[in-house]
Amino acid sequence: MPAIAPPSSSLCGPSSPCGASVCADEVVNVSSRGALRRLPGPPSRRAAPAWRTLRLRALLVGSLMAATLVSGPAAARDLIVRTETGSVKVTEVASGLKNPWSLAFLPDGRMLVTERPGTMRIVGRDGMVSAPIAGVPEVHARGQGGLLDVALSPDFATDGLIVFSYAEPTAKGARTAVARALLDADALRLEDVRRIFAQNEDPSGSHHWGSRLVFARDGTLFVTLGDRFHQRERAQAIDSHLGKVVRIALDGSVPADNPLVGRAGALPEIWSWGHRNVQGAALHPQTGELWTHEHGPQGGDEINRTRAGLNYGWPEVTYGREYVTGRTIGEGETRAGVEAPVLQFTPSIAPSGMAFYTGDVFPQWKGSLFVGALKFQLLARLVLDGERVVHEERMLTELGRRIRDVRQGPDGHLWLVDETEGRILRLDPA
């Protein structure tokens, strides 16, 4: 499996998406198979005189400050950036959001936006941000937990239903849950809120909740679930919801054609297993299959065709390595009976949000798969030949912002959630 290498090979630091403490200054060499090898440091030199050292430091600091003023991450309202297929304008549509996580488009063009601390809001077409929507249940807003994804029912125009995922607090700890509710957008209120799914384990901790929501073409709902970090071995257990993708009906019932229905000792909701922390999911526009991406540990982020009844390996098979030590995890990178990823990223880009582009605003992008990145703060455009990734373009590095979600709007534009600045961004032709 070829690796996609980012413009930098530095490791995650204490602010890594998984929350682990890793030395960000360690120099490493990353091979196409994900192996890490320490490189020797520079040869020792005779110490320079103190006055010369101080003078050089002063010059260096001044140069760095000047470089930051001239070429630091862009925070302007609108920005023109170059891409391989032409210039693109990044337009700020809304700002002032707190840790925005996901968005869904309403039929009238407004957007339903989740904020991880536990608030849901509506953003108007003019960018006005509403007051909080009433009726959102209590969330476990710690670490990576809180209010997560949101999606409209396929029949929203007639039933008015939405679904949303969140970290649900329990007496023991917390778990990823999904609720459905009637949305009264004008009154800013959720009505008839019903929990339709919750993980069967609720460990302590604040990491790896997933969670993305995608409706299949048959109206069933895919829910992606994290392994909760310290319980990673449970990703291989089919009597656990940790580290799984599940498939349920809108009322929470189990579809009769789920792959593990009737299997002794297995949870019938499970669609696939062996996942670490899936934070991107979308249906392939031609095949209708579910594609997902998930965070690896130190390396080994994956993009997968997430098919029924398949094992995706974690933590027994992975391209990633242990934090800090760089040691091998599990048995290696491949194994019979484990589904190989379409693509893996080493080092990790920390992917979040995913969308296939099918619009007409950017005809040169039709058929491309877009993936946001938290750690490397960019938007990746993946060019596909069938189900193979044949090229990758790294875009919007000028922004220097964590891209939490990526959506194609009904207007054919590509929309982004900027988690760093609390903004909703739209890509326009320049």
Q: Domain segments of the chain: what residues?
A: 75-429
State which fold the 75-429 domain adopts: Neuraminidase (2.120.10)
Report how far residue 377's alpha carbon sits from residue 358's, in angstroms, rounded to the nearest whole number.
Answer: 24
3-state secondary structure at position 175? strand
- Cis check: omega of the bond before 315, within 30 degrees of 0: yes
- Check: CB of residue 375 under 8 Å from CB of residue 17: yes
Q: Would you call 208 a catalytic residue per the annotation? A: yes
Mean pLDDT in consecutive groups of 10 residues from the start of the chain, 430 residues: 42 40 28 29 35 39 36 63 97 98 97 98 97 98 98 98 98 97 98 98 97 98 98 98 98 98 98 98 98 97 98 98 96 96 97 98 98 98 96 96 98 98 97
Q: Residue 426 belongs to what H/E stretch? A: strand 423-429
- CA dist 245 → 28, 54, 100, 199 (Å): 33, 56, 23, 11
Q: What is the DSSP string of 269-290?
A: TEEEE--S-EEEEEE-TTT--E
Report how far residue 280's alpha carbon sits from residue 198's, in angstroms, rounded to the nearest whole number.
Answer: 19
Q: Residue 75: left if φ>0, alpha if ψ -120 to 50, beta else—which one?
A: alpha
pLDDT value at residue 208? 98
pLDDT value at residue 77? 77
**Residue 246 neighbours by CB under 8 Å, 6+ apart:** 197, 222, 223, 225, 267, 269, 270, 271
- Cis check: omega of the bond before 43, within 30 degrees of 0: no
Q: What is the DSSP string of 177-189?
A: EEEEEEEETTTTE
Q: Per the residue annotation, which of 140, 207, 208, 413 is the catalytic one?
A: 208
pLDDT value at residue 1? 55
Report how far residue 182's alpha carbon sits from residue 86's, in angstroms, rounded to the nearest whole number.
Answer: 42
